[in-house]
Structure 1
Amino acid sequence: MKFQGFPDRAFHFYAGLEEDNTREYWHGHKDVYDTCVRTPMEALAEALEKRFGPVKVWRPQRDTRFSNDKSPYKTHQGITTESAGSVGYYAQLSAEGMRLGAGFHGGTEQVGRYREAVDHERYGPDLERIVRKLERDGWSLVGERLRTRPRGCPADHPRLELMRYRSLGAERLHPPAELGGPRALDLVRDGWSRLAPLVDWLEAHVSEEGRR
């Protein structure tokens, strides 16, 4: 199927799910999810694979085993690339539109490699230039970070704000009005392309594969 954008019913579906996250609502509107969310998202993923490699379309059910929130369904539909380690691109469709982004999240070893690279006299300034350009272009930095500073990191470290991150990404939100036609493919493809320098840096310095 050729990607033709997301109809308004996709966003109305998620607005309703936010109000009534129950199996009754889901099964009563599953035809809307299948035709207006899942099918176009699968077509979008297929169209992106030529440039970005395999793209995974995530299942809509939440894993509630270890969560106090037992809501059965995610209030967004996500896709991610299968990049090196825990580094890659993502997109999430929800009632508010589509959130595009890229970054990394991982365990202690990856956080250690990330901070080692940020601390490096050459690699650290490279990342700083990348994220500052993204911020000037309207992207927001996101991720888990410490309130203070990592152990052993001096208070006057030139890249202290970046050192605080335990996971790091950049993302921006596109409203439903921009997603209704086939040009939404160009929007996603262009957005991910602009994030490529960040992904390349993270793959080179954070992922296990990149450090070999």
Structure 2
Amino acid sequence: MPSQGFSPETFAFLADLKANNSKEWFDAHKPDYQRVVKKPADALRADLAERLSALTGLETASKQFRINRDLRFSKDKTPYNAHIRMAFWPKGKAFEGRDAQPPSFFVSFEPGHIRLGTGCMAFSKAALGSYLQALESGGGGEIAGLLSALEANGFERSTPDLAKAPRGFPKDHAHTDLARHKGLAVWTTITDTAPATGDKTATFLVDTWKPTLAFWSWLLDLSRTA
């Protein structure tokens, strides 16, 4: 069933939380959180998972990240995340386990903008090996072409993890720059939050993801052969 999406109040709540990030403020406004964030986010996540299953042809798993921040190893002790983040990935044994990093669709609703992406945040060890092998053996041209098309469509490539290509990768290879990635994703920032309000929210998000489908499929094939 289509969700009703978020409302302008959702983004106003996130902005207020960012400005008043304390347990006291949050406790006092918890009914607002449940009404304008938690309930619509749960419905939207289910709606998006269903739509992405239809788009990809694969049953989709999903996760919404907790509003509470993990403070154990952080110098920043503000208790809450002033954003709503979700991830969606294909179900199946190939995408399970501690080391699994399946190709995913990501979205982050933040005060004043939406951040949306597709890809693998970090390849598993096996997938990284397959990725480098694909680059070296001729697959680099295909993925470079997909990335160039997405960049022309307003997406940006994730930042390389390494200053130079890993040991063993040919230094004079045409796709040395791509070999510097230990994960690969594309992102776009949407500064107008109005399309993410009302019952067209899910349609708008899936339409924004659609240009990344070929890139997602390339990563999917990579993870299946790893």
Structure 2 length as normaliser, TM-score? 0.82
Q: Is 1:5 aligned with 2:5?
A: yes
Match of residue 170 from structure 1: 186
* Percent of residue pairs bearing the same amino acid type: 28
SS of the aligned residue for 1:120 comes to helix
How far 1:2 moved relative to its partner?
Answer: 4.4
1:69 and 1:95 map into 2 onto residues whose CA distance is 19
The structural deviation recorded for 1:188 is 0.8
Other-structure match for 1:76 = 83
Pick one of 167, 171, 176 that aligns with 1:151. 167
Displacement of 1:12: 1.7
Give the whole-Å Cα distance in 1 for the aligned partners of 2:17 and 2:160: 27
Q: Could you tell me how far apart the structure 2 residues matched to 1:144 and 1:26 are?
A: 37
- 1:64 aligns with 71
Q: Tell me: CA distance 1:118–1:33, structure 2 relative to 1, closer, same or farther (3 Å).
A: farther
- Consecutive unaligned residues of structure 2, counting only runs of 5 or more, are 53-59
Q: 3-state SS of the aligned residue for 1:21? A: coil
Structure 1 CA distance for aligned equivalents of residues 196 and 152 of structure 2: 23
Distance 1:112 1:95 in 2: 38
Match of 2:225 in 1: 211
How far has the Cα of 1:35 moved from its partner? 1.5
Secondary structure in 1 matching 2:177? helix
Shift of 1:82: 3.1
Deviation readout 1:70-122 (Å, 9 max, x if unpaired):
2221221111113333121111111022211111123444333322222221x
The amino acid of 1:45's aligned partner reads R
Tell me the alpha carbon deviations over residues 9-31 of structure 1, each in whole angstroms, 9 at most, x when there is no partner: 21122222222322112212222
The one of 181, 197, 212 equivalent to 1:195 is: 212
Distance (whole Å) between structure 2 residues aligned to residue 189 and residue 211 of structure 1? 27
Closer, same or farther in 2 for the Cα pair 1:71/1:117, shift >3 Å?
A: farther
Partner amino acid, structure 1, of 2:31: D
State the alpha-carbon separation in 1 of the partners of residues 159 and 126 from structure 2: 17
> If the length of structure 1 is used for normalisation, what is the TM-score?
0.87
| Distance in 2 between residues matched to 1:119 and 1:32, nearest whole Å | 53
